[in-house]
Amino acid sequence: MVKKEIIIGLLVGLIANSIGLFLAATMLGNGDDFMTVIKAAAAEGFLGKLISLGAILNLVAFFIFIKKKQDYRARGVLLITVFVAVFTFVFKLF
């Protein structure tokens, strides 16, 4: 039961991060489509920052789960957020 709740939190965190990345790329893309913005961000070296901006929606999901007393789902969202932070850090180094 606990693993199921954590996995649900991981999935919600991953979806929230993906939606946040899409929204950030769309708002900052000056009218370009999503893939063009992602390619340009990778070429110019700020893809990690764009992914980090996408993780802001994880805060919303985390606090909703905390407010509903769904601590294990909130833990899953937190785990995905830490994973994204480590990923962007490693991505920035190499």
Start-to-end CA span in the chain (Å): 39
Q: Does the model's pTM come out above 0.85?
A: yes
Query: At 26, which helix (H) or strand (E)?
Result: helix 2-28
Q: Range of 20's domain?
A: 2-93
The number of distinct structural domains making up the chain is: 1
**pLDDT at residue 94 greater than cutoff 80:** no
**pLDDT at residue 66 greater than cutoff 80:** yes
**Chain segment 16-54, per-residue pLDDT in tens:** 999 999 999 999 888 788 999 999 988 988 888 888 888
